[in-house]
A and B are shown apart, each in its own frame.
Chain A
Amino acid sequence: MRKVVKYVILDILRSKIILIYTLLLFIISLSVFFLDDNNSKGLLSLLNLVLFIVPLVSIIFSTIYIYNSSEFIELLVSQPLKRKSIWMSLFIGLSSSLVVSFIVGAGLTVLYFEPSITGILMILLGSMLSVIFVAIALLACVITRDKTKGIGAAIFLWLYFAIIFDGLVLFLLFQFADYPLEKPMMIISAFNPIDLSRIMILLRLDISALMGYTGAVFKDFFGTSIGFIVSVVTLLLWIIIPLYFSERIFRKKDL
């Protein structure tokens, strides 16, 4: 399995897209911190960019990579290798290279300008989001055989998590404005890893005071160590569940 991971990573590095992504993250994070005098504000601006770009690049890159290496996968399947280890190698190769490029591109600048717990939390969340969206991409790929459909599904999934989900939540909030929705909102946020990460960071920044009563309720839960653990476990589930199902489908897939 280690050998296959090695070849996946070599192959990813050869395509150079991952290097461009690292450079892009580096330029963005650097310019954000230079633009704002206040590093905490800089972190907030960076957060919004990271929550958009990281899932997008992770899901699209992984989907295209999987489809483009269908030959490679076919070649491996006819060899004495376990299907599970082939799939896991693809997952590990993709997620480790995306995580490393996130840490090198954005993580180092964050550590330099804002070496606080919030900064470290942001690096952790960015890395987790990368892995989550690799897992979601694997699931999208294994379900659809057609490349166009698969990439379309990946784009739509990103759109859903990044934009549509928030729209639906807002709609719900307005419809049920007369009811106390703070607690249900916490549960709903668990259904979107991007939102969950955003809340986890926002509550550590001063601006959470601006969120009113909801902010207070959120802080009551997410601010505690139990809340933190629950959130991290939820994010981990976002990795494990799609990965588990994709592997089960891949095990029986005809190539």
Chain B
Amino acid sequence: MINVNNISKQFGKLKALDGLSIEFTMGECIALIGPNGCGKTTLIKSILGMVVPDEGTILFNKKDIYKDWKYRSQIGYMPQIGRYPDNMTIGQVIHMMIDIRKADTTILDNELIENFELNSMMNKRMRTLSGGTRQKVSASLAFLFNANVLILDEPTAGLDPVSSEILKDKIIKEKSKGKLIIITSHVLSELDDIVNQIVYMQEGKLKFQKEISLLRAETGEDKLSKAIAKTMLKNKI
């Protein structure tokens, strides 16, 4: 579905991505993990075309995304820090996105808007929102268009436990529909029952990409965080 071929990206002196190649296939639910500043967000932004890599290509459905833009209609993206026009209300932002993005064939998915109870806050201005509410808006927008591919950058950061559960349930539900879901997170315990594949990045490079069942079998650990810690230790030695 998404083929990343040998991409590199440099920000000044910092090498955010260093010859990274990776493949994401449909139906997988992938956890993208790694230390801070290892290039996770840069990779995601490259896939979305927000960052243009210095080298390498990214194929979406076997088509180069450079100079293409239509492919983005198949992606629902939830940014790490949702930034929206300050003057607009939640309702206006949602309506604007529907107006800009909706094709005749799209069936809108309002489930998250309802479950997060955003309907009662539609008139609040974006500037007045708390970080958590902003995350709820971002999540609702990412799922709203029933996209085939969902890219969620730190989805549960800043959400309260109840909302976090709602979001996790939604992710599992979408996963069962055979969508490709890419999640980055630092809270590994949250990913335990969601993901089925782990991608570990370090210093802009791919360290490993493994099925979670395989990882558990190799390390003999049931908890994801422990399994990864063990693998990392083993790799060092």
Residue numbers of A with Cβ under 8 A of B are: 3-4, 7, 11, 14-15, 69-72, 74-83, 252-255
Contacts and interface: CB of A to CB of B under 8 A. Distances in A.
A75 B83 contact: yes
B50 A77 contact: yes
Contacts of A252: 52
Contacts, number: 60
Nearest to A82: B69
B72 A78 contact: yes
A78 B50 CA distance: 6
29 contacts: A3-B100, A4-B100, A7-B96, A7-B100, A11-B88, A14-B87, A15-B87, A70-B83, A71-B84, A72-B85, A74-B83, A75-B84, A75-B97, A78-B48, A78-B77, A78-B79, A79-B72, A79-B97, A79-B100, A80-B69, A80-B71, A80-B73, A81-B69, A81-B100, A253-B52, A254-B11, A254-B50, A255-B45, A255-B51
Given A78-B77, A79-B97, A79-B101, A71 B69 contact: no
Given A77-B49, A254-B11, 12 more contacts: A15-B87, A72-B84, A74-B83, A75-B83, A78-B49, A78-B77, A80-B71, A83-B69, A252-B52, A253-B52, A254-B45, A255-B51
Given A80-B72, A83-B69, A11 B85 contact: yes
Where chain A touches its partner, the secondary structure class is helix
A148 B48 CA distance: 28
Interface of B: 11, 45, 48-52, 69-73, 77, 79, 83-88, 96-97, 99-101
A132 B99 CA distance: 30
A80 B50 contact: no
Q: Which 10 A-B pairs have the closest CB atoms?
A: A71-B83, A80-B73, A80-B72, A254-B51, A72-B85, A255-B50, A82-B69, A78-B77, A78-B48, A252-B52
Nearest to A77: B50
A255 B96 CA distance: 21
A3 B99 contact: yes
A69 B88 CA distance: 12
B148 to A, nearest CB: 13
Nearest to A255: B50
Contacts of A71: 83-86
Contacts of A72: 84-85
A252 B84 CA distance: 22
Q: Quick one: which of A70, A71, A254 has the most chain B CB within 10 A? A: A254
Nearest to B72: A80
A71 B96 CA distance: 14
Contacts of A83: 69
A77 B77 CA distance: 11
B87 A11 contact: yes
A74 B50 contact: yes
Nearest to B95: A7
B204 to A, nearest CB: 15
Contacts of A253: 52
A69 B84 CA distance: 9
Nearest to B73: A80
A131 to B, nearest CB: 24
A126 B64 CA distance: 44
B101 A80 contact: yes
Nearest to B77: A78
Nearest to A83: B69
B138 to A, nearest CB: 10
Contacts of B88: 11
Nearest to A75: B84
Contacts of B51: 254-255
